[in-house]
Amino acid sequence: MLKNYSSAIEFYLLGFHGSKELHRILFATFFFLYSVTVMGNMLIIVIVCVDKRLQSPMYFFLGHLSVLEILITSVAVPLMLWGLLLPGMQAISLTACSAQLYLYLSLGTSELVLIGAMAVDRYVAVCNPLRYNIIMNSHTCIWVVIVSWVFGFLFQIWPVYATFQLTFCKSNVLDHFLCDRGQLLKLSCDDSLLTEFILFLMAVFIIVGSLIPTIISYTYIISTILRIPSASGRRKAFSTCASHFTFVVIGYGTCLFLYVKPKQTQAAEYNRVASLMVLVVTPFLNPFIFTLRNDKFIEAFRDVMKRCCQLLKD
């Protein structure tokens, strides 16, 4: 513990409470989920890159979404796994803590912007199919991805800077498995109410701001699909959006639960569960959501596997 009015130069992560047996179970579970997450998203990236049938805006955005998912989960999960193997608390320097928080928030912001762009892409595909290739051309797609990455990393500079300008004098122990902003604010002896309110407004801006085009896009998409006379036509149109819509519900639901609240310093268990959803569960589900019911991707996957088998035989 720190004495009053001294500033922390390193923190200790409590991680998960419980016995060594529970930690071993958690390690095995999270290691499995992390491994599948990395391999599944890597598989999506490789197949999107090598198969010409998947050279379209939807799969281009999906490839970048998979890159973001790998990076987001890799920011915290390997450190979390290491902490589950070691007894006691895990030390992390102030610099490493700020870097982890910055990468976590920046990558998450870029992902939300990209998800919003993917919703607009689905709107153009369903509601304006004849002009789809003109509107969503390669130039547009590249700029959308660049903007999403740059915006995410620029937008989170001030929130992280403001967080680490505070004086952490109450303790240097974080009741979490990563450098969580809510837990950091709990350790500050400064009056952080204004900072918390500004951070709340910024979270509302990015989450609700990227959610608005998604809601508008899907309102038009659903309206258009319902006007299609044949059941097979409606089913085909909806299948092009079902995966993205499922991901939107899970992703935005978790982010709203975790960040859009006036009081950032919530209970540790609340933040821990919500963080696991963002860092472990959602990236794990991504490959299954976007591929299991996608006939074009499954066909491309089979062809890539056949080619790999032929190369091995030769």
In a domain, 5, yes or no: no
In a domain, 99, yes or no: yes
CA distance 126 to 116: 16
CA 52 to chain centre: 27
Dump pLDDT digits (tens) for 64-83.
Answer: 999 999 999 999 999 999 98
DSSP single-letter state for residue 175: S
pLDDT classification of 172: cutoffs 50, 70, 90: confident
Q: Token pair 């990563």 is at which residue?
A: 178
Dump pLDDT digits (tens) for 243-252.
Answer: 777 777 777 7
In a domain, 181, yes or no: yes
pLDDT classification of 258: cutoffs 50, 70, 90: low
Which of 48-57, 184-193, 290-299 is predicted least confidently? 290-299
Dump pLDDT digits (tens) for 117-169.
Answer: 988 998 898 888 889 989 999 999 999 999 999 999 999 999 999 988 888 88
Which of 188-192, 207-211, 267-271 is predicted least confidently? 267-271
Mean of pLDDT over the chain: 84
In a domain, 40, yes or no: yes
Cα dist from 211 to 183, 187, 219, 300, whole Å: 27, 32, 12, 31
**Higher pLDDT residue, 174 or 308?**
174
Angle value at C-alpha 153, between 150 and 155, nearest 5 degrees: 100
**The pLDDT value given to residue 2:** 44
The CATH number of residue 236's host domain is 1.20.1070.10
Which whole number is the average pLDDT over 27-45?
94
**Higher pLDDT residue, 17 or 111?**
111
- The strand pairing partners of 188, in sequence order, are 168
In a domain, 170, yes or no: yes
In a domain, 15, yes or no: yes
For residue 143, give both structure tokens. Answer: 């700029």
In a domain, 194, yes or no: yes
Is the overall model pTM greater than 0.85, yes or no?
yes
Domain count, the chain: 1
For residue 61, give both structure tokens. Answer: 């955005």
> Which residue range forms the structural domain that includes residue 86?
10-312
In a domain, 1, yes or no: no
CA 135 to chain centre: 27
